């Protein structure tokens, strides 16, 4: 958290491994391990999540397929069967009060600002990161169910989040 223009989004993107930034000093440790040598996808698999302030549209890719691909990548070799995936997806969508018809809509394509934020939070809820960096996640129209906090994740380590 902090005033506008003080570098919150820049810091979050640098931690997540955005290619626009070169880190010239300091350390970023996750579970005691430096993430700076990791590619962005490796950082995500290690449990880091970045919710975008201005998420991109992904026309042609449905939310259901997008989140499933991300979750499969996060789980690695473990199998993700369709039944348990959709059960979990619908549970999280219900918590966030996202209409189920959104599963077949293209990611962020034509979404309102609040719908885009919900979509970001849905991704976070499904991926259950150890550490979530969020830029302006909660416009007044969104109430954040506490069950979506990474602290409620099934991970053995309690999760954390930083909201900017």
Ligand X SMILES: Nc1ncnc2c1ncn2[C@@H]1O[C@H](COP(=O)(O)OP(=O)(O)OP(=O)(O)O)[C@@H](O)[C@H]1O
CA pair distance 48, 38, nearest whole angstrom: 11
Question: According to the binding rule CB under 6 A, does residue 6 interact with ligand X?
Answer: yes
What are the tokens at 3?
A: 């005033």
Site stretch for Mg ion (CB under 5 A), options 1-9, 27-35, 93-101, 125-133:
1-9
Instruction: Choose which of 1, 5, 26, 140 interacts with ligand X (CB under 6 A).
Output: 5
Q: Binding residues for ligand X, how many (CB under 6 A)?
A: 9
Q: Is residue 141 within 8 Å of 97, Cβ to Cβ?
A: no
* DSSP secondary structure of 132-158: EEESS---TT----GGGSGGGSSSSSP
Distance of CA 31 to the CA centre of its chain: 18
Site stretch for ligand X (CB under 6 A), options 5-13, 29-37, 56-64, 144-152:
5-13
Site stretch for ligand X (CB under 6 A), options 4-12, 54-62, 77-85, 115-123:
4-12
CA pair distance 60, 110, nearest whole angstrom: 12
Question: According to the binding rule CB under 6 A, does residue 10 interact with ligand X?
Answer: yes
Instruction: Choose which of 2, 3, 5, 9 interacts with Mg ion (CB under 5 A).
Output: 9
Q: Which is nearer to ligand X, 9 or 103 (CB)?
A: 9
Q: Are strands 48-51 and 131-134 parallel, antiparallel or unpaired?
A: parallel
List the single partner that 25 binds among ligand X, Mg ion, none, CB under 5 to 8 Å by kind.
none
Q: Is residue 56 within 8 Å of 137, Cβ to Cβ?
A: no
Which positions lie near ligand X, rule CB under 6 A? 2, 4-10, 53
């Amino acid at each position: 958290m902090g005033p506008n223009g003080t570098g919150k989004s820049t810091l979050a993107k640098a931690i997540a491994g955005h290619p626009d930034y070169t880190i010239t000093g300091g350390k970023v440790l996750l579970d005691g391990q430096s993430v700076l040598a990791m590619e962005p996808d490796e950082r995500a698999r290690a449990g880091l999540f970045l919710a975008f302030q201005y998420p991109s549209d992904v026309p042609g890719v449905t939310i259901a397929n997008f989140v499933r691909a991300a979750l499969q990548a996060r789980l690695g070799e473990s199998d993700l069967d369709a039944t348990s995936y959709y059960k979990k997806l619908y549970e999280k969508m219900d918590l966030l009060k996202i209409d189920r018809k959104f599963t077949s809509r293209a990611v962020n394509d034509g979404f309102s600002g609040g719908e885009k934020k919900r979509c970001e939070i849905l991704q976070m809820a499904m991926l259950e990161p150890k550490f979530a960096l969020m830029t302006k996640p909660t416009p007044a129209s969104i109430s954040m169910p506490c069950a979506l906090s990474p602290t409620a994740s099934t991970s053995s380590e309690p999760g954390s989040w930083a909201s900017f």
